[in-house]
Amino acid sequence: MNIQKSFSGSKTIIYYTSNHEDPKMEQKIIDDMLSKSGNMPIISVSQKPMDLGQNICIGDVGFSYLNCRKQILMAAKLATTEYVITAESDFLYPPEYFNFKPSGDNIYRYENVWIMELSDRKQQNFYRKRSTSDGAQIVKRKFLIDLLEKYLEPYPGWYIKNNNETDPRHSPYHRVPHTLIHGENPCISMKTGNGISLRTAIKEGPENIRKNLPYWGEVNDLINKFL
């Protein structure tokens, strides 16, 4: 599905963070998001107090995939719009991500997502293509609440870190049908080493490794801008 004209009236941004990234970097990412999202309502769920939309501060509960999904669920329950749109503290989004107009499906996932991997050696910094991400999707709110409540039911409380004993094998979206959003400009996931995981699955092949991407430009220039 291609991006349609600008439309924000039926969506709320869910911004979720463990506040483990460098505060200056995270603020730059927030400022970038705000410059593109217009007047769309925002619910932020954080581990430190934040002046961002309607904020829920849960305290220093640790960072894990389960905690992230609990934070998303809290925000989804507080929102009132038909759809919610996810935003992460280490993700950069192009304008068309916020401008997408849902047309009734339960889950829309942005398919143009790239990882920005950081190296100690500047010449080894690259963008690497990955598949879809929890951090770049638009979901019907009531559908998401039902999905996450069922998924999280066996996992009460907060989890300090990921481990094999507490983490479910699959994400809540595993085998759940979704509609792909084909945006010309990519979303960028920044792997700084301060997030939940340093690496993630990427697509193989030289066509999925770039030094330069539309809208964002050269990888080292983007690193210098935000880090």
User: In terms of residue numbers, what domain contains 114?
Assistant: 11-226
* pLDDT average, residue stretch 20-27: 94
Report d(CA 71, CA 75) in Å as an integer: 6
CB-based contacts of 146, cutoff 8 Å, min separation 6: none
1 inside domain: no
180 inside domain: yes
3 inside domain: no
pLDDT the model gives residue 120: 64
Q: How many domains does the chain have?
A: 1
- Chain centroid to Cα 49, Å, comes to 19
Q: 10 Å Cβ neighbour count for 85?
A: 25
pLDDT bracket for residue 4 (50, 70, 90):
very low
Contact 187, 3 (CB under 8 A): no
| 107-110 and 137-140 strand pairing | antiparallel
Which tokens sit at 22? 């460098």
- Chain centroid to Cα 60, Å, comes to 20
* pLDDT average, residue stretch 147-166: 86
4 inside domain: no
42 inside domain: yes
5 inside domain: no
* pLDDT average, residue stretch 21-50: 96
pLDDT in tens, 78-93: 999 999 999 999 999 9
pLDDT bracket for residue 165 (50, 70, 90):
low
* pLDDT average, residue stretch 164-170: 71
148 inside domain: yes
Q: Which residues pair with 115 in a beta bridge?
A: 128, 189
Q: What is the pTM of this model?
A: 0.90
CATH number at 15 reads 3.90.550
pLDDT bracket for residue 7 (50, 70, 90):
very low
How large a percentage of the chain has pLDDT more than 90?
A: 73
Which tokens sit at 64? 């894990």
Q: Is the pLDDT of residue 8 over 50?
A: no
